[in-house]
Amino acid sequence: MRVLGVDEFALLKGHTYATLLVDLEARRPIDVLPGRAAEPVAQWLADHPKVKIVCWDRASAYAEAAKQAAPQATQVADV
């Protein structure tokens, strides 16, 4: 997988969140991580070094995760 989409969603609005990872080339979800912090995303990226592009929604935690664990990847922020 080369192009990864990262976004958070509410399991219980205002209380419980998770992070959805999507293979944007295949257009399918590939993983759900607990919470919306940088650490789980960084660990996932470290385990998947072939990611070349990370798309995220301007959440600073996801930018930090990509910077730490996937320095080879281009970051793209959606608007």
Could you read off the pLDDT of 30-77 as tens digits, one per residue? 999 999 999 999 999 999 999 999 999 878 899 999 999 999 999 998
Confidence (pLDDT) at 39: 96
CATH number of the domain residue 34 falls in: 3.30.420.10
Beta strands in 1-79 (DSSP E): 3-12, 16-23, 28-34, 53-56, 74-77
What distance in Å separates the CA atoms of residue 72 and residue 75, rounded to the nearest whole number? Answer: 10
Q: One-letter amino acid identity for 34? A: P
Domain count, the chain: 1
Task: Write out the two tokens for 27.
Answer: 């257009």
What distance in Å separates the CA atoms of residue 41 and residue 32, rounded to the nearest whole number? Answer: 10
What pLDDT band is residue 78 in, cutting at 50, 70 and 90?
A: confident
Range of the domain at 33: 3-77
